[in-house]
Chains A and B, each alone.
Chain A
Amino acid sequence: MQTLEKANTIINTIKNNIEKMGRQLRIIEVCGTHTVSIYRNGFHTLFKGYIDFISGPGCPVCVTHEGYIDNLIELAKMNYTIYTFGDLMKVPGKSMSLAEAKSNGAKIKIMYSPVDAVENIAEDEEAIIAAVGFETTVPAFALSLEKVLEKDLKNVKFACELKTIDQPLKVLLKDHIKVDGLILPGHVATILGVDGFKFVEEFEIPSVISGFEKYDILLSLLSLTQSILDNDFTVKNEYKRVVKKEGNTVAKRYIERFFERTDAYFRGLGLIEGGGLRLKSEYSSFSVQLKYDYESFSNSACRCADVLTGKLKPFECPLFEKVCTPQTPKGACMVSQEGSCNAYFRFGKWK
């Protein structure tokens, strides 16, 4: 029981720190996996009245535009085989999701790993890999392109909708949201390192890189509340077992070798300068040109955009739980297992 007492001590210290400030803290967890961990472990109720947790734009599925889905479906109709991660399957496009297109006969295959997918693509298959994700996932796409080059495959292309974390965070902190502290994404930081998040310090908001287990979250909240008390804006690292100061340098070199910055559309934040990655021009023959209208949303009642910018809690959306459920999602925040609407729906006790 000694360690249980330690946990209680940490919880009490976090609460005491906040009591010293005399107000409820607004803390944003940038990554969807943190959102899930916070709600699954009941931290939103444990710290009720102490911390208001806001879900940020760090779930790649949630910030993907419906137009990207429509483009993939169009390509599938042109007899390409689309390889995608499973969590993109239910995201609604204008008229249907990839899952519905698949049930209508479109050639859409779920991949677990883009590297494995490339190894197993048949010679006579015209394949398009749906490249979606933040820096955590980009190295896997870089490795898969390397394999395409090694094997001299002419039948594999990439539909890039890759995102970077720094630019949207800057936009969010500058224009959209006022928070007391940030829980930074541990797996993006695994690639980028603590150094990759030093830019947060310029905003003079305390932050901590966190792992995803419940004890990781507790230690991160302890660190964060102490930073807030001390007006300490240094990025703290509470995921030291994985995250290094410089990150994974091999992975970063892979990203730099194949990708370059481009503007990217984020659901909720709009078009962000330098917010995405595309294949470098020397690899453009492996890239699919995507075209869609950023402004068009098929379901104007969906409030994903407001949820992703902390303006609205999921249960305040008129569609939440009524017509929008994980079985019948109307927006990407309900589709993804890492989406805040999905986490609220599954783990409840939000009111």
Chain B
Amino acid sequence: MCLGYPAKVIEILEDGKKAIVDYLGLKKTVNVSLIKELAVGDYLLIHSGVAIEKIDEKEAEKIEKLFGEVRNANS
């Protein structure tokens, strides 16, 4: 129930309360009422059809850079 997944904003719908996001190629409409200053290209953490926070790309990149190869080596 508490699972969240990251997804990229590809379109903000007119009322600004919804957005179409891309998660591993899957397009979904999610509620973005809880997110301030949303822009296309932002990454969001989605939970129960609701975006609960923006993902800080710089922080995410730091982790990815540190451990990206580990994932590849173990998969």
Contacts and interface: CB of A to CB of B under 8 A. Distances in A.
A7 B70 contact: yes
A139 B36 contact: no
Contacts of B59: 240-241
Interface residues of B, number: 30
B53 A248 contact: yes
Contacts of B39: none
A292 interface: no
B31 A143 contact: yes
Most buried by B among A7, A58, A132, A188: A7
Given A187-B4, A187-B52, A248-B52, A3 B70 contact: yes
Contacts of A243: 53
A85 B63 contact: no
Contacts of B36: 250
B56 A134 contact: no
A190 B45 contact: yes
Interface stretch (A18-26, A113-121, A196-204): A113-121
B48 A336 contact: no
Given A215-B63, A248-B34, A137 B53 contact: no
B31 A115 contact: yes
Interface of chain B, main secondary structure: mixed
Contact of A137 (B2, B56, B68, B70): B2
A338 to B, nearest CB: 7
A336 B1 contact: yes
B66 interface: yes
Contacts of A219: 63
B60 A241 contact: yes
Nearest to B17: A143
B73 A1 contact: yes
B49 A241 contact: no
Given A187-B52, A240-B59, A250-B36, A136 B2 contact: yes
Interface string A1-23: 11110110000000000000000
Looking at chain A, what size class is its interface with the partner chain?
A: 35 or more
Nearest to A3: B69
A219 B59 CA distance: 13
A137 B31 CA distance: 13
B3 A33 contact: yes
B68 to A, nearest CB: 6
A190 B53 contact: yes
Nearest to A136: B2
B67 A132 contact: no
B67 A136 contact: no
B1 A115 contact: no
A4 B73 contact: yes
A91 B70 CA distance: 37
Contact of A85 (B1, B31, B50, B55): B1
B74 to A, nearest CB: 8
B48 A250 contact: no
Interface of B: 1-4, 31, 33-36, 45, 47-50, 52-53, 55-57, 59-60, 63, 65-71, 73
26 contacts: A1-B73, A2-B69, A3-B70, A4-B70, A6-B67, A7-B67, A85-B48, A87-B1, A112-B48, A112-B49, A113-B48, A113-B49, A133-B1, A140-B48, A143-B33, A190-B45, A190-B52, A240-B59, A241-B55, A241-B56, A241-B63, A244-B53, A248-B53, A250-B35, A251-B34, A338-B1
Given A7-B70, A116-B49, A143-B50, 7 more contacts: A187-B2, A188-B2, A215-B67, A215-B70, A241-B57, A242-B55, A250-B33
